[in-house]
Amino acid sequence: MKTPFWKLILGLVVCFAFPWIFLLMMPYVSEAKVAPVGYTAEDEVEGISAYPERSTLRYGSSDYGAQVYAAEGCAYCHTQMVRPTYAGPDMWRYGWGGREADGLARETRPEDYLGESFAHLGYQRLGQDLSNVGHRLTREELHRHLYDPRSFDVDSGMPAYPHLYRTLEDGSIHPTEKADALVDYLLSRRKDAKIPVADTRNRQ
Partner 1 sequence: MTVQQATEEDIKDRALVDRSTRFPVLFFFTSALAWLFVSTVLGFASALKLRNPGLFEEAVFLQYGRLFPMHMTALVYGWAIQAGIGVLLWLMARLTRYRLSAQEQGGLVVLGHVWNALVAIAVICIGLGFGRSIPWLDMPSWMLPLFLLTYAALTVWVFPMYKNRRSGSVYISEYYLVGAAVWFPWIFITASALIGQEAAPAMAAGAASWFASNLVYFWMAPIALAVAYYIVPKIADRPVHSYGVAKFGFWVLAVLAGWTGFHRFYGGPFAAWIPAASGAAVVFILLAVVATYSNLWCTLRGKTQLWEFSPSLRFTAIGMLFFAGYCGLSALSIFPGVQAKLQFSFFQNGLDVLAVYGFFSMTIFGAMYFIVPRITGCEWPSAGSIRNHFWYSTYGILTLVVCLLVAGLAQGGYLAQPDIPFSTSFLNAGPWVIGSAVAWVLIGFSNLWFFGQMALMFIGKGKKSANPTLIHGGGHGDHDPQHVAEEAVAS
Complex with partner 1: residue 95 or 196, whichever CB lies closer: 95
Shortest reach from residue 39's CB to partner 1, in Å: 21
Please identify which residue in 38, 40, 102, 117 interacts with partner 1, judged by CB under 8 A: 117
Task: Tell the smallest beta-carbon distance from residue 198 to partner 1 (Å).
Answer: 20
Identify which of residues 14 and 41 has a Cβ nearer to partner 1 in the complex.
Answer: 14
Q: How many residues bind partner 1 (CB under 8 A)?
A: 76
The identity of residue 141, as a single letter, is E
Diameter of the chain measured on Cα atoms: 80
Element housing 63 (H / E): helix 62-71
Half-sphere exposure of 27 (CA within 13 A, CB side): 8
Q: Which residues pair with 175 in a beta bridge?
A: 165
Q: Judged by CB under 8 A, does residue 151 bind partner 1? A: no
Contact flag: residue 176 with partner 1 (CB under 8 A): no
Contact 79, 129 (CB under 8 A): yes
Any residues with CB less than 8 A from the CB of 137 and at least 6 apart, and which?
145, 186
The yes or no reply on residue 49 touching partner 1 (CB under 8 A) is: no
Q: Is 11 left (phi over 0), alpha (psi -120 to 50) or beta?
A: alpha
DSSP 8-state code for residue 51: E
State residue 107 phi and psi, 5-degree precision.
-75, 160
- Select from 116, 144, 147, 165 the one that contacts partner 1 (CB under 8 A): 116
CA distances in angstroms from 188 to 41, 138, 144, listed in the order given: 26, 11, 17
Nearer to partner 1 among residue 30 and residue 49 (C-beta):
30
Query: Interface residues for partner 1 in 56-115 (CB under 8 A)?
Result: 69-77, 79, 81, 83-84, 86-89, 92-94, 107-110, 112-115
Q: CB-wise, 40 or 153, nearer to partner 1?
A: 153
Query: Among residues 9 and 197, whose Cβ is nearest to partner 1?
Result: 9
Pick one of 49, 157, 174, 176: the residue that binds partner 1 (CB under 8 A). 157
